[in-house]
Amino acid sequence: MIRANHRKFDEIRPVTITPGYVIYPEGSVLFSMGNTKVLCNVTIEQNIPSWMKVSGKAGGWITAEYSLLPRSTHTRTNRETRGLSGRTQEIRRLIGRALRAGFNLDQLGEHTCIVDCDVLQADGGTRTAAITGGYLALWLALDKMVDKGIITPTVFLDPVAAISVGVVDGEPLLDLDYQEDSVAEVDMNLVMNTREEYIEVQGTAEGPPFSGDTMNTLLGLGKKGIRELIKLQQMFM
pLDDT at 1 over 80: no
The mean pLDDT value for 162-175 works out to: 97
Residue 142 CA, distance from chain mean position:
17
Give pLDDT, residue 22.
Answer: 98
Distance from C-alpha of 235 to C-alpha of 182, rounded to nearest angstrom: 32
CA dihedral 96, 99, 105, 109 (to 10 degrees): -80
Q: Give the pLDDT confidence of 19-46 residue by residue, as tens digits.
A: 999 999 999 999 999 999 999 999 999 9
Residue 214 contacts residue 187 (beta carbons within 8 Å)? no
Give pLDDT, residue 170.
Answer: 95
Q: What is the CA radius of gyration of the chain?
A: 18
Q: Give the pLDDT confidence of 82-103 residue by residue, as tens digits.
A: 899 999 999 999 999 999 999 9
Amino acid at residue number 16? T
Give pLDDT, residue 103.
Answer: 98
Give pLDDT, residue 23.
Answer: 98
Residue 207 CA, distance from chain mean position:
26
Q: Give the pLDDT confidence of 128-162 residue by residue, as tens digits.
A: 999 999 999 999 999 999 999 999 999 999 999 99
DSSP character string of 58-107: -S-EEEEEEEE-TTSSSSPPPP-TT---HHHHHHHHHHHHHHHTTB-GGG
* pLDDT category of residue 4 using cuts at 50, 70 and 90: confident
Phi-psi region of 34 (alpha: psi -120 to 50; beta: other; left: phi over 0): left
Between 5 and 153, residue with greater pLDDT: 153
Mean pLDDT of the chain: 96
Question: Could you give the percent of the chain with pLDDT greater than 70?
Answer: 100
Angle at 186 between CA 185 and CA 187, to 5 degrees: 125
The mean pLDDT value for 113-133 works out to: 98
Structural domains of the chain in order of their starting residue, each with its CATH number: 4-234 (3.30.230.70)
* pLDDT category of residue 5 using cuts at 50, 70 and 90: confident
The mean pLDDT value for 39-61 works out to: 95
Give pLDDT, residue 199.
Answer: 98
Distance from C-alpha of 51 to C-alpha of 63, rounded to nearest angstrom: 14
3-state secondary structure of 213: helix
* pLDDT category of residue 177 using cuts at 50, 70 and 90: very high
Give pLDDT, residue 211.
Answer: 96
